[in-house]
Amino acid sequence: MTDRKHTKHDEKRPARGAAKVKIDVEATGPLGADAEAEAAGSGAPAAAEAEQSVEVARERDEYLDHLRRLKAEFENYRKRVQRDHEELRLRAAETVVESLLPVMDNMSRALEAAGRHEEGQLLAGLELVAGQMRGTLEGHGLEEIPVEPGVLFDPNLHEAIMTQESPEYSEGTVLQVLERGYLLHGRLLRPAKVIVAS
């Protein structure tokens, strides 16, 4: 009887072991297939990533080249504008100086005549030259700021050098004009320097 029991156990043991081995083989079979499939499929994404990386690098280089060209074009434009501005300024100065040459000629003539003519004639000659100068500058857009004693002080057009008490003029009005002010093409070129009544 004991032999039979051992025999039955022995018969059962290999069967269990065989079943266990069979399960292990079946379990490892599909896992091995998945691993092989993953290994085979991993080559395609790597190639796609490499191709995408090359494309990104190419686009980057294109943008960088475009940016460098834009920078060079802007630098050339800036230099050209600066050169044109300087040329315009020189031409404007040339026009003004050229228009003042006749005034200088008349001033020289008036000074030469000062020694030979009477004082009244010299004064008339200087007034003529001053009028010519004023007319030339007005032709270039210069306009004198109208200000006389008694006019209300305007900080936009006048510069108060000092204040002074005055029985004749009310507070805040111009008492005396020390230096004439001018506008050039409607913009303030120089404010009139005045003494203001306090």
List helix spans (H) across 115-187.
119-139
Distance set, CA 129 to CA 95, 97, 124, 142 (Å): 19, 16, 9, 17
Per-domain boundaries in the chain:
141-198
pLDDT, one tens digit per residue, over 133-171 is 888 888 888 899 999 998 999 999 999 999 988 888 888
Please give the radius of gyration of the chain, using alpha carbons only, rounded to the nearest integer.
Answer: 51
Predicted local distance difference test score (pLDDT) of residue 43:
59
Interatomic CA distance for residues 102 and 139, integer angstroms: 14
Distance CA 14, CA 9 (A): 9
**pLDDT for residue 35 is more than 90:** no
Tell me the pLDDT band of 28, cut-offs 50, 70 and 90: very low
Q: What is the mean pLDDT of the chain?
A: 78
Q: Per CATH, the architecture of 141-198 is what?
A: Roll (2.30)
The pLDDT value recorded for residue 191 is 92
Higher pLDDT, 15 or 157: 157
DSSP state of 188: E
pLDDT over 90 percentage in the chain: 28
Residue range 89-124, pLDDT digits in tens? 878 778 787 888 888 788 777 777 776 767 767 777
The CA angle 131-95-147, to the nearest 5 degrees, is 40
> Of 25-29, 35-39, 192-196, which one has max mean pLDDT?
192-196
In this prediction, residue 13 carries a pLDDT of 52
> Which is more confident, 57 or 26?
57
Instruction: Confirm if 143 and 180 have CB atoms less than 8 A apart.
Output: no
Q: Count CA atoms closer than 13 A to 134's CA, side-chain side.
A: 10
